[in-house]
Amino acid sequence: MQYSDIHKAVFLERPNRFIAHCTVDGMLETVHVKNTGRCRELLVPGATVYLEKSSNPNRKTAYDLVTVETPFGLVNMDAAAPNQVAGELLRAGAILSSPTLVQPEVRFGASRLDFYAENDRQRLFVEVKGVTLDMDGTAMFPDAPTERGIRHLEGLAQAVKDGYGAAALFVIQMKDVRYFTPNRQTHPEFAEALAEAERNGVKILAYDCSVTEDSIELGKEVPVVLEYPQLYEMREPLVQWYRENKRDLPWRENPEAYRVWISEIMLQQTRVEAVKGYYDRFLKTLPDVQSLAEAEEDQLLKLWEGLGYYNRVRNMQKAARQIMVDYHGVFPSDYEEIRSLTGIGSYTAGAISSFAFGKPEPAVDGNVLRVLTRILADHSDIMKQSTKTKMEKALRKVIPEGSPSDFNQGLIELGAIVCVPNGEPKCQECPVSHLCRAREEGRISEFPVKKKAKARRIEDKTILVFRDDEEIAIGKRDKKGLLAGLYELPNVPGHLSRKEVENYCKEIGLLPIRIKKLPAAKHIFSHVEWHMIGYDIRVDELEKTNKKEFLFIHPGEIEKTYPIPAAFEMYMPKE
């Protein structure tokens, strides 16, 4: 779009929405402003502006103000320009391919929309909005509340419902903006209406423009960030920080899918330092999907001994067998296929997809939820699935395509070593502290919001260490329930006295020679606590009916072969 007869001027003031006072060649002129928006950030006293002289000698104002010079470049202020360049875009087939009709100013229901276009396959309504507000390289709309804009969005959504295509096109009347986002501070209702329109199928587009003193030309498409612009802003500093500060961890050396999977399952509910040894031992014994699928249960549980939550490793074996059958032993690379494997939730699927395959899928764990709720000052309860789903959806829109692994691992790392859960977070070391609303508002301690967990059930146990010379008794637990299928030291409910222990021994066919009281101990599971007392009991090897069918095994052999839960560690005799 070209202007003619352009004159350089200096802006002085704007008495109302329609006119401005400027000096042109030293003469005071009243000029027509071709934009009724506020434009306060642009039209500041002393700003250089460019005026188009009217060819109509009878006009009250001889000039139209069309362009303003700002510290970040030229901004076109002509409210008619966006529709003209948008029409050119539509006719060129950039939004609707090979259009057979492009018609401006059409009515649909109660709405008057800027364009209707169609081809032999689709009918499309388009509403155009000019954008002149730039905040630190971010294009924003509106600069003043616009109820009319909300009605236009509602009209577009209705068009989609009625079977048409629909798009909201934001023409950014300047160059070199990083992205477009709705101006929530000025009109939060419009921002929400825009997000709702997208959810209802309206396509949201934004293009920048090349602007000179006497022209405006449509440029390139720019990213649209409808919600949580802080998350978009954090991408570059977070990735750079991670690459410079990431910990040296064994599972990061060769992020092949199987290795990532093993590490992520182990890291659930377990400290990083504790996992390292288990990870190396597991991979040396079961280096691939096939070996895991074919492993004997006792071997599998022994490799997992001490990590707890044994269903995790059982589910891993089930998933390995799925891979062998359904994917011919090759770990699937598709997110939904990974997600369908036994024991794999959205976090683990996202981690494998992004770390191993470079897919832009979110990996949201407790660390990430803590970081995000602090950055956004979000009071949603992180214990609710709806909160996790909301954050996954928000992240999926901003994950950088070129570095999804570093982005996701950067978030996890940030929560693990900087934005820590207990004590003071290390904000001075945080690469995105400038984006953190909780820090800005002095409310870091309020986040994350976490509903208090239900109190654990307390169970009293008496642990019985039966000794026969150098061997001790162990039994195998039921195949269902807590610690299913593992081996254990004999135990009974409640806290038994010495006399009660003696009577119990006789009931099960063991003759106690000596009974020694052991210290009390406690073990915490996710939903239950064991409060334990123990007895060391030497039994007569010649008087063993052993009605419970305990196995008497040397402690050294137990250590090598039999998986014993960590709950019994306090009472396990050493060699």
CA distance 438 to 421: 14
Indicate the residue type of 13: E
- 368 close to 412: Cβ distance less than 8 angstroms: yes
Which residues are paired to 67 by β-bridges? 50, 76
Q: How buried is 485 (Cβ within 10 angstroms: 0-12 exposed, 13-18 middle, 19+ buried)? A: middle
Strands 138-141 and 133-135: antiparallel
Tokens representing 241 are: 């920080």
CA distance 58 to 45: 28
Q: Which stretches of 141-256 are DSSP H helices?
A: 147-161, 188-199, 229-233, 235-245
CA distance 65 to 68: 8
Map 404-421 to HEC letters.
HHHHHHHHHHHHHHCCCC
**Terminal CA-CA length for the chain:** 88
Q: Which of 127, 154, 227, 264 is catalytic?
A: 264
CA distance 110 to 102: 20
CA distance 78 to 37: 11
Q: Could you confirm whether 264 is annotated as catalytic?
A: yes
- 438 close to 446: Cβ distance less than 8 angstroms: yes
For helices 346-357 and 257-267, angle between their N-to-C axes, nearest 10 degrees: 140
Measured at the CA of 322, the angle between CA 316 and CA 326, to 5 degrees, comes to 155
Q: Which stretches of 305-421 are DSSP H helices?
A: 311-326, 335-339, 346-357, 366-376, 385-396, 404-417
- Closest by CA position to 491, among listed 461, 522, 530: 461
- 115 close to 68: Cβ distance less than 8 angstroms: no
Strands 457-468 and 528-544: parallel
Tokens representing 13 are: 């003031």
Tokens representing 381 are: 């309860």
- 534 close to 496: Cβ distance less than 8 angstroms: no
Active site members: 264
